[in-house]
Structures are given as structure tokens and as C-alpha cells.
Amino acid sequence: MAPMATDFGDDEGRVSQKLIDYHAARARGGVGLIIMEVTGIDALFPYMPRTVGLWSDDLIPGYRRLTDAVHAHGAMIFPQVAHPGPDSLCALLTGVEAVGPTAGIVNDITKTACRQLAADEIPPIVEQYARTARRAREAGCDGIELHAAHGYMLLGSFLSPVRNRRTDAYGGSTEGMMRFPLEVIRAVRAMVGPGFPIVLRISGDEMVAGGRTLRETLDIAPIFVEAGVDAFHVSSGAYPDLSWRVIPPTGTPFGLNVHLSAALKQVVDVPVMVVGRITDPRQAEDILCRGEADMTVMGRALLADPDLPVKAAEGRFDEIAPCIGCGLGCVVAREQGADTTCLVNPAVGREAETALVPADGPRKVLVAGGGPAGLMAAAVAAERGHSVDLFERTQTLGGLYTLASVAPGKQELTLVIQYLHGRAVRAGVRIHLGSEVTPQLLRRESPDVVIVATGSKPCGPVLPGMDRPNVLCARELVAGRIPLPTGRVLVAGGGTVGLEVAEIIAEAGRGDGRTSVRVVEAREEVGMDMFSEARTLLLERLEALGVELLPCTRLASISLGGAGFDWVVAALGAEPLDTLSAPAEEAGIEVRVVGDARQPRQAVAAIAEGFEAGRSI
Ligand SMILES: Cc1cc2nc3c(=O)[nH]c(=O)nc-3n(C[C@H](O)[C@H](O)[C@H](O)COP(=O)(O)O)c2cc1C
């Protein structure tokens, strides 16, 4: 399991029960080796709020409880020991200035620049690494990982020519850039002795202008082995220019670093692990069989399903909750100050509290709507022993989420529906397609509980002129119910839907000599609701297609021939569609409204609400 910052520690950097339950669930699910998220080495330089640390001996007992819980299930655990360097939020959290190889590296979140570490400040940090490794061993950890990848954190920054512009002994040449990481490796080895594995996480190729190339990585890897590295953990990319390779979003290649681990294996004789968009255990097996890596590492796939390894071992591939790389739960939620979660697994970080318990007595549950919220609610209610019927008005499951999978590169979204459908069927949900729930049907079925998951409809005319015939609805276009417009097209609304529909139209009209697409958005940036890495890639594609983006622009009204557009595509959001709550309540039926029917939002919220509804009946 790959290191993933969860912020599940407490404010003092201690291991919490939440973190223990989270890792114990992955160990129980069959993970062989958990590489834990960043473990800080200095309280003054925290990575994020609530990032755990091992900067003093009194933090050891907490880690001991964690390692005991993981070992109880036969798994091993390595903390990822790291000084965050320029990527510490210290400027906000502890009031000290961040440090780096070179002054002026600006932190994305604090918007402040780091100062350059003086050469004589480095040996004490080397010592902190060694002491942290010693504490990890005392806490029962099975080894450690040193984070030197992605031109990120302190070691990664020293090792990357993009960030390390020093001219002293700690920079200036490949040898200079390796000096600090090598000193750390040697000091750790000297402190922990032999037989305590040290993994080095490294970008096989930074793939950015002026960054380290694969050729150079192959040259330096054997030197790290000589210094005491027992295994490599290979990813790619470098902050800030190529960060999408670090947490690759939906639509990026699966196993995107495998060629790098395969190359590294040719030059070192220690194990090489590979990470990055390895989501299907059969794909992982292929990588091993082809000899492209000695171990495969999964990150988000194990947030999505802690039981992935056990299910794979038992051949229950269809039962695995799929990671589609959406980043909505693991990254975006955290950025917005909410807890880490996962689109397909709302139980992340709440493993103990959400363990499904059988219902007191079976009740008759009717679910109206077969989108993600309805499917999850139905599955969970049935898993707990309720008698569940799900009615879907159309002939297909998935609701609006199916439309979301139409945009370029988003086809894998259908895996989510496939998974939720399978889960509902296995739990015994009776699914009725082509059946709309009406008040009559409610009376006839007379359920104990109705879950309203009937979704949303596009916003009504919010602007004067929106009822004109040259105004098209984004949803209708994406669904293929009306032909794509050509000519001068204005997309009103620059959220995910607006940007994606712009891409679809621009792509279809490419080279026809007459189609041009502009997107207007009232907020100061487009794609504000997106996972930033997906946004970066989408904006690059839109630029290549010549789509013009106009943030900070409010559409006042739409008039005939007004601003010179042939078509306006409305992507201005949605409003809830719920015609059932009132009649159900009138009939004395218990009602839960979930997903867009409650308030239109992204699927991560809808699925979480479906889960809660199913759990609480
Ligand atoms: C929420 C989140 C937090 C992460 N935190 C770390 C981290 O603390 N250290 C690190 O080296 N990589 C971190 N990563 C990168 C992952 O270890 C992994 O390389 C990446 O997610 C790609 O693998 P995957 O496609 O299997 O998820 C993080 C990724 C995610 C999604």
C-alpha cells in the first residue's frame, strides 16, 4: 500500500485510534506491506495539520499500538520518514519559515517562499532522520521508506535539479545533489544496523524541463544501494510542473511508471517496487509476471477497497470497489477541510464506526432512482437484511453519472455503476427498470421506508432569453439527444460540466473551419469543482483545441444575434427533482432523500448519503 497523507493523526502529531482502525482494516484485507504516510521528523516542520510524527520518544507508544494492530493481521508496516522541507505548512501552523535547498520555492498553500538551508544546518537534520528511524524500529515498524521522489519535500527537493540550484557541496552537480540523501541513508543505516529495510522512494524520471531523466536515475541508483538502500519505490513526475503524474487522475494510463521500474531493475539487484494507477490486481499480477517490478504498490485502490487483496486471492474480482482516480474523496475533500473519504468507499477513516450491523428486523424498503446514491442505499440496506426494491424510471442504471462517463477519458466511471449494481444484486435487491415511482405505486407497494434518489434536473431559465431555440441544454447534448452544435458556440458555465461539454463540441468540430467555442464562468476561475490534476489536464486539452475561457464573466441575458454567437449551451447547474417526499410523508411512510434529489452535488456526496441512508434504516 502506497503512502497517502490522510491527516488522521491528532494536532500533536500522535497516532489516533482512527488511523489505527484505518490501517488495521487494510492489513485485515490482505495488504502485505503498508507504507504509511509521511511521518515527520521535526515538530516545527509539520507537513499538513494532523500529519503524524516520530520526532520524540513519547510518540513511540502510539506507533506501537498501530504496528501491533497491523501485525495482528500478518501485515508489515513502514512509515515514510520525511522532512517536508518547502512543502511544510509550517508558515501557517508553527510560524517558522520553511526550508529548502534553494531560497524562493513557493508553497502552493501558504503562498510563502522557503529560505535556503545553510550547509551547517544539514548535519542536525541528518541526525533527526536517523533518530526518527531508530524510534520507528523501537515502535515495531518493519522498516522505513525515505521520501526522495517528485522533487518534493526535503530529500526530493535536494535530489531534483529543478529545485536544487545550490553551488556548494550539496548541489551544483549530480554528486552534490545526492550528498544530503546519501548522508541520510548512511546515518539511518548506522543507527538502525543491518536487517532493518530502508526503501528509497524516487522518481524514475521527473519528465520536466531541466529535471532528472531516467538515464540519470539509472546512474545514481547503484550508488544509493551501496550506501544502504534495500529497495526502490518508483514513481515519476516532479512538483509543480508535472504533479498529475504523482496522483494521476481518471483517464491517465494505468501502470504509468512500469517502464521506469523495469529499467531500474536492469541496473540494481535489490527489489524494485512500482506505484501509479495500478488498480486491478490482475494488472498487478501481469507486471510481476513480466518481470517489470518485484512488488506492485497500490494507493487509492486500497482506499476504495481495503479488502482488495483478499477478494483477488479468492477470485472475487467483480466484488472489488474500483478506484477510478477521481481524487474527489482523497484529495479534494481534504483540500476543502473535510475528512479523507472515497467516492466508492464512504467508510474510509470510519472503519470501526461504519461496520455494517444487521438490522433489528427486516423492513420493506423502496428505493426510487438507480443512480449512484440509490444503488448504494439499496445495496447497504439489503446487506443489513432489509427487503429492498429499487425502481428506475429509465431502462439503464447510473443516472446522471452515466452521462458523466461520456466526456473524453472518463469512460472508466462506468466501473462505479457496474460495481454498485453488482453489489446491490448480490445483496438481494430486486431491480425494476423502466418503472417510475408514482404515488399510486407507493400506495400499492406500501413500503416501510422510501429512499428518494430521483436526481436533479437542469436549472430552469435563470437568465432572460434562455428559452430561445438557439439555447441548448448541456445534459441533452452529452446524452446525444440533440446534435452537437457547430459554428460559434458559447458555453455558459465553466464548472466540470461546462468544460467537458466544451471539449466535446470543440473536438467534434475540430478542423471544420467554422466551429469555435468559448466558455464563460462567473467565478474567478473555471473548473473550481474539479480535482486539480484532472483540471490541469483538461485545461491543456482545451487550450490545444483553441477553446477560449472567460472567467469572471457574467452572462446578463441572451438575445438574438447578441454577442455574435450561433449557439449558447447552458451548463448552469441543476436543481433537485423530488416529487415523492410529499406524497410518501402524507401516506405515513418514512422518507430519506439522498443525492441530487436532496441537493445537486458531485457523486462523492451522493454515494455517501446513500451509504448513510442504507446504514441507518
Ligand atoms: C491522498 C493522497 C495522499 C498522498 N500522500 C503521499 C505521501 O504522503 N507521500 C508520498 O510519497 N506520496 C503520497 N501520495 C502519492 C501516493 O503514494 C501514490 O504514489 C499515488 O497516489 C499514485 O498511486 P495510486 O494510483 O495507486 O493511487 C498521496 C496520494 C494521495 C491520493
Q: Over the stretch 547-594, which tens digit does the pLDDT of each residue have?
A: 999 999 988 888 766 678 999 999 988 999 999 999 999 999 999 999
Output the CA 248–ligand 1 centroid distance in Å: 9
C-alpha distances in angstroms, 313 versus 285, 294, 297, 320, 419? 11, 18, 16, 11, 18
Minimum mean pLDDT among 27-36, 263-272, 465-474: which range? 465-474
Average pLDDT over residues 224-251: 95
Using CB atoms within 10 Å of the CB of residue 467, give its burial: 0 to 12 exposed, 13 to 18 middle, 19+ buried. Answer: exposed
Tens-place pLDDT, residues 85-106: 999 999 999 999 999 999 999 9
Q: Is the CB of 330 under 6 A from ligand 1?
A: yes
Q: Which of 32, 22, 29 is nearest to 1 (CA)?
A: 32
Q: Is 47 a catalytic residue?
A: no
Instruction: Name the active-site residue from 22, 47, 152, 239.
Output: 152
Beta strand segments in 298-360, E: none
- Prediction pTM value: 0.96
CB of 81 within 6 A of ligand 1: the answer is no
Q: Average pLDDT of 238-245?
A: 90
User: Which atom of ligand 1 approaches the CA of 325 most closely?
Assistant: 25
Alpha-carbon span 353 to 341, nearest angstrom: 14
Rounded Cα gap, residues 447 and 362, in angstroms: 12
CB distance 332 to ligand 1 below 6 Å: no
User: Pocket of ligand 1, candidates 300, 328, 331: which has the most ligand atoms within 8 Å of its Cβ, to mutate?
Assistant: 300
d(CA 138, CA 64): 8
Residue pair 610/594 in contact by the 8 Å Cβ criterion:
yes
Predicted local confidence at residue 429, as pLDDT: 98
Q: Calculate how far, in angstroms, residue 419's C-alpha sits from the geometric centre of ligand 1.
A: 24
- Confirm or reject: Cβ of 277 under 6 Å from ligand 1: yes
User: 545, exposed or middle or buried, with CB in 10 Å at 0-12, 13-18, 19+?
Assistant: middle
**How far is ligand 1, taken at its centre, from the CA of residue 37, in Å?**
8
In this predicted structure, the answer to whether residue 269 has a pLDDT above a threshold of 80 is: yes
User: Which residue's C-alpha cell is 446513500?
Assistant: 610
Tell me the sheet residues that pair with 300: none
The helix (run of H) or strand (run of E) holding residue 247 is none
pLDDT in tens, 423-436: 999 999 999 999 99
Residue 273 C-alpha cell reads as 517496487
pLDDT at residue 201 greater than cutoff 90: yes
- Shortest-distance Cα residue to atom 6 of ligand 1: 4
Whether 247 is in the pocket of ligand 1, judged by its Cβ within 6 Å, is yes
Residue nearest to atom 25 of ligand 1 (CA): 277
Q: Mind listing the pLDDT tens digit for each residue in 555-565? A: 888 876 667 89
Residue 455 is predicted with a pLDDT of 97
Q: Looking at residue 105, what DSSP letter applies?
A: P
On whether the CB atoms of residues 152 and 238 are closer than 8 A, the answer is: yes
Using pLDDT thresholds of 50, 70 and 90, give the confidence band for residue 521: very high
Rounded to a whole number of angstroms, the CA Rg of the chain reads: 26
Ligand 1 pocket check for 80: Cβ under 6 Å: yes
37 lines ligand 1 (CB under 6 A): yes
User: Given the DSSP bridges, would you call strands 198-203 and 231-235 parallel, antiparallel or unpaired?
Assistant: parallel
Q: What is the mean pLDDT of residues 492-512?
A: 95
Strand 548-550 to strand 516-520: parallel, antiparallel, or no bridges (unpaired)? parallel
527 contacts: CB under 8 Å, gap ≥ 6: 494, 495, 496, 499, 535, 538, 539
Instruction: Report how far residue 531's alpha carbon sits from residue 536's, in angstroms, rounded to the nearest whole number.
Output: 9
3 pocket-lining for ligand 1 (C-beta < 6 Å): yes
Taking only the tens place, the pLDDT of each residue in 136-147 is 999 999 999 999
- What's the pLDDT tens digit per position in 346-381? 999 999 999 999 999 999 999 999 999 999 999 999
Q: What pLDDT is attached to residue 466?
A: 87
Distance between CA atoms of residues 255 and 507, nearest Å: 27
List, for residues 366-423, the tens digit of each pLDDT value. Answer: 999 999 999 999 999 999 999 999 999 999 999 999 999 999 899 999 999 999 999 9
Residue nearest (by alpha carbon) to ligand 1 atom 1:
330
Q: What is the mean pLDDT of the chain?
A: 96
Whole-number Å distance between alpha carbons of 231 and 238: 21
For the segment 157-180, the average pLDDT, to the nearest whole number, is: 97
C-alpha 406/C-alpha 425 separation (Å) is 25
Return the pLDDT at 492: 94
Distance CA 504, CA 440 (A): 41
- Spatial neighbors of 46 by CB under 8 A, at least 6 apart, are 13, 40, 53, 84, 88, 89, 90, 93, 94
- In angstroms, the Cα distances linking 308 to 9, 26, 290, 608 are 24, 9, 22, 20
Between the CA of 247 and the centroid of ligand 1 the distance, in Å, is 6
